[in-house]
Chain A
Amino acid sequence: MPEKELAKALHQLREAALGTLWRQWGALGAAIAGEGPTRSIVDPEGLVLVSLSLAEEERRLWDVLYWWVKVGAPLLSVQRIKNLAVRFPESTRGRLGVFAHLAHREGRDFRWRSLESSSPGKTIRSGKSLGRDPQLHHPAALMLRLRVGLGVGVKADLVAFLLATGGVWVTVKGIAEGLSYTPRAIHRAVDDLVAARFIQATTGTPAAYRADSMAWAPLLESSGKPPAWRYWPPVFALVADLAAWAGGEGALPKTTAYVLSSRARDLVERHRIAFARNQIKIPSPEDYPGEKYLQPFEETLRRLALWLAESA
């Protein structure tokens, strides 16, 4: 029964994804039980989007999202979440409207008006206390901390990205892809940051940029290297698509093994970038015709689950 094995692999991935989410929310200061250490930088917009994606299955996520509306929504980039949301399923974008409604009405943040649902149609639990303020001094919260210091926008995110990528030289294209800003916005920001000597640039073409983590360490009061950079939004978009496909709790649509394999192929092709950017090695769909791809797809899900557990 290939469907049974596939459902099992989907369930394992869902559990790994939820584990990642709780760890990341915990790193941002949500008073929740069971979170573990966080090894990579939290991408706040990506985290909100994937939490919205899984919130129907994991109702507790609405509690943490509501908490974030109250304490953290002003630290989010509305433009960036809009850019990233296009990669997520329709259902996630619908829930983003609910989140925006809350951020506007209850968080008193008018930037969210453009994303707000006219009629959210959802009752959000609001009595649960998950902590007061975001925790900005956790190393994994570097992106948010820099936004507090430098303002919500491309410059803060760019410095966080360059610090977390370990001092390697990155081109404007690489930064733009990593952060989901336009190359034009990145160009303007790197010019300013180089002029301010916040980051360094090569003189070649195309120019590449890096941040010296040792130079930033005293300012950030950090003793070592920042947590690693992981390209979370494309992975989260895949997790969201898988959740939408499986309809929750690994309940796959009733169909033939071939049709399942074909839909699985669609998902991997659509989200290839999630694997490529994060260097997650997976079986190539082209090597497995028809329903023969189902088993390699299960293996793909298992490798992704393992990567989530090791990277969060």
Chain B
Amino acid sequence: MDARPISILERGLAAVGDLLAAEGVEVGIIVAGGTALNLLGIVQRTTDDVDVLAILRDRAGSDGVTLAPPDPLPEPLQRAIARVARDFQLPEDWMNTVVGLQWQTGLPLGLERRLRWRRYGGLRVGLVARYDLIFLKLYAAADSGGPSSVHFQDLLALRPTERELQAAAAWVREQDPTPEFSTIVEQVMTHARERVG
């Protein structure tokens, strides 16, 4: 998939919201990855796609949300994604749920309370907060490639504190409890400490 400026993907989100509103439908999604980093202003880089980590099931109360695995995405949202792909010449999977596999081992505790919400017409977008992105990016960096990987670079851009790194490492080790993986996590943390300073 080609990387594209965030403005194009944000335009796509707005277009999806317009289509949902025209249908009189409201859908909530939780977005992680490069799109969340960009929209939160943490990085300014091109990104491939919109990673949907979860969908908003319903409001559990005035101060809470209930998240659910994103597969399958609600039908009106699937239709809107396909239509926007056609209308903006985007790949069919410009918004996808691959990152939703994270539900198999669990999400960082309390992630849903720290979400940063945006609204695009009928689309509510919960951006994964910086704190939780540190967890997810540390895991991704340990899981895929060395210091040159985009995940490691994103982790540096998040400028984690030692305390945040330790909390993230504890969660990441729960995802893969093997000693080999624990060693890799430690190496990534060492690199990160050196670079962040």
Contact = CB atoms under 8 A, between A and B. Distances in A.
A269 B148 CA distance: 44
A80 B15 CA distance: 41
Q: Among B11, B18, B22, B87, find the residue whose CB has the most chain A CB atoms closer than 10 A.
A: B87
A286 B87 CA distance: 8
A261 interface: yes
Contact of A289 (B18, B21, B83, B89): B89
A110 interface: no
B89 A258 contact: no
Interface in A227-265: 253, 255-256, 258-259, 261-262, 265
Interface in A286-302: 286, 289-290, 293
A255 B86 contact: no
Given A255-B22, A290-B11, A290-B15, A262 B83 contact: yes
Contact of B19 (A253, A259, A293): A259
Interface string A116-151: 000000000000000000000000000000000000
Considering residues A255, A259, A265, A293, which has the most beta carbons from chain B within 10 angstroms of its beta carbon? A259
Interface string B9-21: 0010011001101
B88 A289 contact: yes
Task: Bin the interface of chain A by size.
Answer: 10 to 19
B83 to A, nearest CB: 6
Nearest to B8: A289
B86 A256 contact: no
B22 A265 contact: no
Interface string B74-93: 00000000010011110000
A259 B86 CA distance: 13
A262 B11 CA distance: 14
A261 B83 CA distance: 11
Contacts of B22: 253, 255-256, 259
Select the residue from B18, B83, B89 with max chain A CB neighbours within 10 A: B18
Contacts of A253: 22
Contacts of B11: 290
Contacts of B83: 262
B88 to A, nearest CB: 5
A259 B18 contact: yes
Contacts of A286: 89
B89 A262 contact: no
Interface string B92-127: 000000000000000000000000000001000000
A259 B87 CA distance: 10
A258 B84 CA distance: 10
A218 B15 CA distance: 62
Contacts of B15: 258, 262, 290
Given A256-B121, A265-B86, 18 more contacts: A253-B22, A255-B18, A255-B21, A255-B22, A256-B18, A256-B22, A258-B14, A258-B15, A258-B87, A259-B18, A259-B22, A262-B87, A265-B87, A286-B89, A289-B87, A290-B15, A290-B88, A293-B87
Interface of B: 11, 14-15, 18-19, 21-22, 83, 86-89, 121
8 contacts: A253-B22, A258-B14, A258-B18, A262-B19, A262-B83, A262-B87, A289-B87, A289-B89
